[in-house]
Structure 1
Amino acid sequence: MALQWFPGHMHKALKEIKESISQVDILIEVLDARIPYSSENPEIAKIRGDKPVLKILNKYDLADPELTARWQAYLESERGVKTITTTTDNPANSKQIIKLIQTICAQKHASVKSINAMITGIPNVGKSTLINILADRVIAKTGNEPAVTKSQQRINLGGGIVLYDTPGVLWPKLENPNSIYRLASSGAVKNTAMEYDDVGFYAADYLIKAYPEAMKERYKLDELPDTELEFLEAAAKTRGAKMAGGRVNLHKICEILLNELQAGKLGRLTLETPEMIEQEKIEMAAAAEKKAADKAKRKQKFKEGSLTPDKEARKEKREEKRQEQSRRMKKNRR
């Protein structure tokens, strides 16, 4: 599935982030606890340098708690990274973010200068709601769809902290094909940028393997089918997702599955594990290496091809014709 969603305001936002990064003491990246890796913006990692990062695993109430704990340990193994879990319906927990920022930037906090913190996050991750909680007032516009915040703004949170808010930004090129599907499954992109059937099949394949009991219970199945297609067909029958003549409406059941996944109706689920990501990184590195090798091979083949005997012979023949033409022209001028 090709994901095409990098509108103009996102390009502008990424440019503004790069321009403002030098003024920032700490970066705050809001992640979806269900997809901690796929909701990370690799562009942020490239530009942050040695600045400390606080990664907020938001929507924790929708994620698998055991996997979230493993993800926190995995993320914090990177130098300068701290994590905290939050839910948008638990303001008290979110308030701990202020204290954590002050602790991480203790040296700056002790001075007379304010702590400049920049908050980033992909669309629909709950960043704007979190900002309103931290500010104790409605500052950022919220909405139940991606890309609500359109421009950068500065917010005084009190406690010596000034927050740079940025629009939700996806990155121009998504390298990991699995991350594309996970972003679509979690609702990080608009419905118009995805194909329900394609994403639904991907989500179903993962869920029946990772959370079989939850799928059986939610869709009232006595036995769980082995394949995603069989599962979707069985689920469609229990949900009445049928077309004329009693045929299964796969588009409808995929839509139901994704809507319920995004709303948390399937239970506390996480769509990726640290072990999965490590394996995918190996596969991506191998694919990139093969791509580079194939490119070098084509380049070398092209270079060698220009020196083949056949091409060399044609080149010599063209040169002989040019020389013969030159001799005739000289002869005619005499």
Structure 2
Amino acid sequence: MNFQWYPGHMTKAKRQMQEDIKLIDLVIELVDARIPLSSRNPDIDELGKNKFRLILMNKSDLADKRQSEEWSKFFQEKGYFVYGLDARAKKGMKKITDIIMEACKEKIERDRKRGIKNRPIRAMVVGIPNVGKSTFINSYAGKAVAKTGNKPGVTKGKQWIRLGKNVELLDTPGILWPKFEDQLVGLRLALVGSIKDEILNTDELAVELIKLLKEKYAGILHERYNVNEDAKEIDIIYEIAKNRNCVSKGNEPDFSKAAILLIDEFRSGTLGKITVEWCGDYE
């Protein structure tokens, strides 16, 4: 199964970001807490190499807490400021301003020495499609200032958002990178919904998800769907179809319907708090 999705507007968006980075003090990078490394665009490091950096691990409410703690340590050791959040919830947003001020304290001190007071921190919000950038901005601003959508590709252009006296945010479109060197990265992005489902084979995606769950979260499929986890992945999906009344014409088990049900329940957190990418696998 080959994963790739790089529509034309992403090239244009990347060029625009290269222009805008000159105006920025801080790069705020949102990653998906379920795939913290695979949801990082490698181009962002090059783009923001001389800037202060903050990684927001979004969708932390859907991720395995123990794994999120390990990933936070991983990024902190590399010199990033890190904070876990659920952008849909308003709580914890006040703390982000404190972290931004802490991350940019050298810049604030330089301004003070030059006699410049109350100049806001200018931050670019970046991340891959469907990671929750616009949702985060709206929660942080306390009002709907950025377009949101439960699918990749909603934000098409840039927009500046002023947040009080201290912070200005630049929202940017979600961009992937032209080629995934590791198809496992593509698989993880597909699982969490950062690649359009219309171009994916969801039957195969569900099989890959079951392989991962059997390895990392033994028992979770049996508990949720009352299936035999020792069976082959394809047989497990048919079993889910029978147990969840996913049937086609003629009352036959509908494999594709069950596959989509499984993927949806994983993405929504109904299946449990699951991290697809484990920090320990990289050590």
TM over 0.5: yes
Q: How does 1:215-230 map to 2 (within 5 A)?
A: 215-221=221-227, 223-230=228-235
Which residue number corresponds to residue 258 of structure 2?
253
Among 134, 147, 151, which residue is 2:153 paired with?
Answer: 147
Please report how far the alpha carbon of residue 20 of structure 1 lies from its aligned counterpart in structure 2 after TM superposition: 1.5
Please report how far the alpha carbon of residue 148 of structure 1 lies from its aligned counterpart in structure 2 after TM superposition: 0.7
Which residue number corresponds to residue 3 of structure 2?
3
Structure 2 distance, partners of 1:121, 1:77, is 21
- Return the letter of the residue paired with 1:127: K
- Say whether residues 1:131 and 2:137 are aligned partners: yes
Which residue number corresponds to residue 202 of structure 1?
208
Which residue number corresponds to residue 85 of structure 2?
86
The percent of aligned pairs where both chains have the same amino acid is 37
Which secondary structure state, in structure 2, belongs to the residue aligned with residue 76 of structure 1? helix
Report if aligned partners of 1:109, 1:160 keep a CA contact under 8 Å in 2: no
Please report how far the alpha carbon of residue 262 of structure 1 lies from its aligned counterpart in structure 2 after TM superposition: 1.0
Question: Normalized against structure 2, the TM-score is what?
Answer: 0.92
CA RMSD of aligned residues (A): 1.7
Which residue number corresponds to residue 96 of structure 2?
97
Please report how far the alpha carbon of residue 232 of structure 1 lies from its aligned counterpart in structure 2 after TM superposition: 1.7
Which residue number corresponds to residue 175 of structure 2?
169
Please report how far the alpha carbon of residue 247 of structure 1 lies from its aligned counterpart in structure 2 after TM superposition: 4.8
Please report how far the alpha carbon of residue 102 of structure 1 lies from its aligned counterpart in structure 2 after TM superposition: 0.7
- Give the number of equivalent residue pairs: 276
Which residues of structure 1 form unaligned runs of 5+? 279-334
Report if aligned partners of 2:30, 2:133 keep a CA contact under 8 Å in 1: yes
Structure 2 distance, partners of 1:177, 1:75, is 23
Please report how far the alpha carbon of residue 244 of structure 1 lies from its aligned counterpart in structure 2 after TM superposition: 5.0
Among 164, 177, 191, which residue is 1:158 paired with?
Answer: 164
Structure 2 distance, partners of 1:137, 1:3, is 36
Higher relative contact order (CA 8 A, sep 6+): 2
Which residue number corresponds to residue 24 of structure 1?
24
- Return the letter of the residue paired with 2:57: L
Structure 2 distance, partners of 1:181, 1:241, is 25
Please report how far the alpha carbon of residue 95 of structure 1 lies from its aligned counterpart in structure 2 after TM superposition: 2.5
- Return the letter of the residue paired with 1:69: E
Please report how far the alpha carbon of residue 57 of structure 1 lies from its aligned counterpart in structure 2 after TM superposition: 0.6
- Say whether residues 1:239 and 2:244 are aligned partners: yes
Which residue number corresponds to residue 114 of structure 1?
120
Question: Normalized against structure 1, the TM-score is what?
Answer: 0.78
Which secondary structure state, in structure 2, belongs to the residue aligned with residue 116 of structure 1? strand
Which residues of structure 2 form unaligned runs of 5+? 112-116
Structure 2 distance, partners of 1:34, 1:247, is 34
